Amino acid sequence: MSNVERDPAEVVCVAGENPAAVEILEPREVPLGGPRALKVRRTLPQRKRSLVGAWCFVDSYGPTPSLAPRTMDTPPHPHTGLQTVSWLYAGRIEHRDSVGTLAHITPGQVNLMTAGAGIQHSEVSTADARPLHGVQLWVALPDEHRHVAPFFEHYVPEPVRFGDATLRVFVGELLGSKATVTGFTRLVGAQLDLPAGASVRLPIEREFEHGLVVDAGAPTLQGVPVPAARLGVVGTGLSELDIEAGTEPLRALLIGGEPLGERIVMWWNFVGRDHDEIAALREQWQAEVIHGGTHSGRFGRVDGYDGEPLPAPTLPNVRLRPRD
Ligand code: MN
């Protein structure tokens, strides 16, 4: 028997077999749509992992240096089969959608939009609150609920203290703090702040996978460094998570949930189950909204946005393959 504990490389090698192993996902820089093309750091999905629980998309952005009045200007665009979760560290975003919502979020507040069968929305950062700094996450809806009628929720969690840690639970339940927004699978999402030098051992659900989306700081998760802008992921089977801030204050999002256990297809802003479904949704968006053809009402209309909706990109020639 060799002692692998003294060799951190071994811990990485047994990822997937050892429940304490941590996967480190590097961000990809992606320009967001719109004329000024805010760049986002996308840590999910990627080839080697596309889901953490039902969380299927993680985009982090900012803090933006720009003094432009509209750092984020995302024209009306559709979603299906998912929920969007918007969380800010700084700034303010104006949200408009086709169920009639006009809402603003500021730091410490969550906007959760359940797209279900279909919705469209616009997101514009406002000039009075700069810089812009935050995260946009998506949750895939399970098959039995993915065609629900769309709706919008806003929630402001009360911060909870746990040792040196401060948590803001914006989805699901943790440490007795329960978000009132709707989940369709068992999920958790929370902002975690730790002062420099502090550590926390968080009680978590054994059936959940978890991810730590590090915004600021140089923490360790289960003893493994997770640098800023990375997503550290641990699988199911843990009842506690060890997080140490290191020499800088830590600010991160903790996301988790029971594995979705379904194969999904994600393309552009749609989550579906196969290529033909995605192709039909794209066709419907183009016909109804972009070209103003026959109107089935799937995507409704967004009032009050100054500009045209986003046309869908061309579908790739290769058939879209489901993500496990
Ligand atoms: Mn969107």
pLDDT at 187 over 50: yes
> Residue 183: what pLDDT?
98
* Average pLDDT score over residue span 118-138: 92
Q: All domains of the chain, ordered by start, with CATH?
A: 11-257 (2.60.120.10)
| DSSP conformation class of 15 | B
The per-residue pLDDT of the chain, averaged, comes to: 90
pLDDT at 322 over 80: no
pLDDT at 152 over 80: yes
Between β-strands 133-140 and 151-155, what pairing exists: parallel, antiparallel or unpaired? unpaired
136 Cα: distance to centroid of ligand 1 (angstroms): 9
> Residue 201: what pLDDT?
98
Position 78, amino acid: P
Residues 199-234 have pLDDT tens digits of: 999 999 999 999 999 999 999 999 999 999 999 999
Rounded Cα–Cα distance for residues 234 and 199 (Å): 18
pLDDT at 164 over 50: yes
135 Cα: distance to centroid of ligand 1 (angstroms): 12
Rounded Cα–Cα distance for residues 23 and 282 (Å): 34
User: How many residues belong to the chain?
Assistant: 324
pLDDT greater at residue 126 or residue 55: 55
pLDDT at 236 over 80: yes
42 Cα: distance to centroid of ligand 1 (angstroms): 14
304 Cα: distance to centroid of ligand 1 (angstroms): 16
Rounded Cα–Cα distance for residues 268 and 312 (Å): 8
**Residue 124, CA atoms < 13 Å, CB-side half-sphere:** 18
Q: What is the pTM of this model?
A: 0.91
165 Cα: distance to centroid of ligand 1 (angstroms): 31
| Cβ atoms of residues 267 and 320 within 8 Å | yes
173 Cα: distance to centroid of ligand 1 (angstroms): 25
> Residue 71: what pLDDT?
81
Residues 70-93 have pLDDT tens digits of: 688 899 999 999 999 999 999 999
Rounded Cα–Cα distance for residues 221 and 242 (Å): 6
111 Cα: distance to centroid of ligand 1 (angstroms): 11
pLDDT greater at residue 111 or residue 323: 111
Q: What is the enclosing helix (H) or strand (E) of 276?
A: helix 275-285
Q: Which of 156, 145, 119, 49 is nearest to 309 (CA)?
A: 119
pLDDT at 310 over 80: yes
> Residue 84: what pLDDT?
98
| Cβ atoms of residues 285 and 79 within 8 Å | no
122 Cα: distance to centroid of ligand 1 (angstroms): 7
| Cβ atoms of residues 97 and 302 within 8 Å | yes
**pLDDT band per the 50, 70, 90 thresholds, residue 253:** very high
120 Cα: distance to centroid of ligand 1 (angstroms): 8
13 Cα: distance to centroid of ligand 1 (angstroms): 37
